[in-house]
Amino acid sequence: MTNKIPRIVVVGSINLDLVVKSSRLPRIGETIHGTSFQKIPGGKGANQAVAAARLGADVTMIGRVGDDDFGAMLRQSLQEQSVNIDRVMSTSSTVSGIALIGVADDGANTITIIAGANGCLTPADVEANSNLIGTADALIVQLETPLPTVLHAVKLARHRGILTILDPAPAPDKHSSPWIEELFPSVDVVSPNQSEAELLTGVAVTDIDSARSAAKLIKQMGTRHVVMKLGELGALVCQADQSMEVISAPKVKVVDTTAAGDAFTAALTVALVEGKGFIDATRFACAAGSLACTRFGAQPAMPSRFEVDREMKLEQSDDR
């Protein structure tokens, strides 16, 4: 393992999360009373950038915000979290990305995203930063920005021999996504959660056996490795040699699961760049994802390196 500082580039979404808390999530057609409202910086790309920075990585974000007040707020927030924003562009006459999030008292959530400026991120934007990507240790992408842009980024990184991590959210339905055949073979690691794995494969992931079945199908789409996030069950690692192992997650009191997957993806990337094997890297990622569940919000919930390392030591000693 190396002591180098990971250099990570994130190409992805930058949103402002408009978060409503309530005792439970409303049913379809139902109106309920909320208990609080907050504006919190989010977006899967920005969340993962912040998470990686808090874990000690040197992170540059490539993305777009609008030329509105939200855009200025989002740029400032990323900068305050030690994320390099030199490649975050403002888009004229366009609103910044927004996520409407409902969070129940038990931590369950629903999320609706409005792309805004995220939808204006182009392959040309990525190409303009090809030298930056080519000198990185890893590239993280998601699916909240246009597919041609994501494809261009991962292909560029693959051509340069850069580790590529795809968090396939929001996941497309397997029957309407022929482009998967082009995207997945250019990605080293695909890391879906249970619902995303189901949308990608048609397999309802409800337990370890069904997770194994879904992981095999995702692997057949061309990616080298699959690391599936299974919530309180932990994570399933399916490596290039077809070997599979389940990694348990620390038991925590869940407050909000909104960005737990983003903490996981960032931590997995940081650990892999640092030289950890897939099993140890996934243990590290499970610790980061679990800690993110103990706090409210997206970016404010991202744990520090000290916190994750401490959690890992507690897990190893079972001293709780």
Domains in the chain, CATH or no CATH each: 7-14+43-93+118-317 (3.40.1190.20)
Decide if pLDDT at 190 tops 50.
yes
Q: Please report the pLDDT score of residue 280 as a whole number.
A: 96
Residues in the chain, overall count: 320
Which residues are known catalytic residues?
262
Residue 264 has pLDDT above 90, yes or no: yes
At 61-71, the pLDDT tens digits run 999 999 999 99
pLDDT at res. 313? 86
Give the tens place of pLDDT for each residue, 148-164: 999 999 999 999 999 99
Q: Are 194 and 204 in contact (CB under 8 A)?
A: no
- Segments in 22-111 forming alpha helices (H): 44-54, 69-80
Look up the pTM and report it: 0.91
Place of tokens 């409902």: 102
- Between 242-246, 256-260, 315-319, the lowest mean confidence (pLDDT) is in 315-319
Q: What is the pLDDT of residue 297?
A: 78
Q: What is the pLDDT of residue 106?
A: 87
Cα 257 to Cα 78: distance, rounded to the nearest angstrom? 21
Pairing relationship of beta strands 138-141 and 97-104 according to DSSP bridges: unpaired
Burial of 239 (0-12, 13-18, 19+ CB in 10 A): middle
Query: Does 110 have pLDDT greater than 70?
Result: yes
Please, where are the H alpha helices in 138-177? 147-159
* Average pLDDT along the chain: 92
Q: Are 260 and 252 in contact (CB under 8 A)?
A: no
For residue 258, what pLDDT is reported? 79
Give the residue-averaged pLDDT of 185-206.
95
C-alpha span between 236 and 248 (Å, rounded)? 9
Give pLDDT, residue 285.
Answer: 97
Please state, in angstroms and as integers, the Cα–Cα distance from residue 81 to each residue in 12, 34, 58, 302, following that order.
17, 30, 11, 10
With cut-offs at 50, 70 and 90, classify the pLDDT of residue 171: confident
Nearest 5°: CA angle at 140, between 270 and 58?
50
β-pair type (163-166, 189-190): parallel
- pLDDT, residue 283, reads 96
CA dist., res. 225 & res. 243, Å (int):
10
DSSP annotation of 68 reads: S
The single-letter code of the amino acid at 23 is S
259-285: average pLDDT: 96
Residue 108's pLDDT is 85
Paired strand residues for 98: 16, 114
For 10-56, how does the pLDDT look when each residue is reduced to its tens digit (9 = 90+)? 999 999 989 999 999 999 999 999 999 999 899 999 999 999 999 99
CA distance 100 to 74: 16
pLDDT computed for residue 307 by the predictor: 94
Eight-state DSSP code of residue 8: E
pLDDT of residue 320 exceeding 70: no
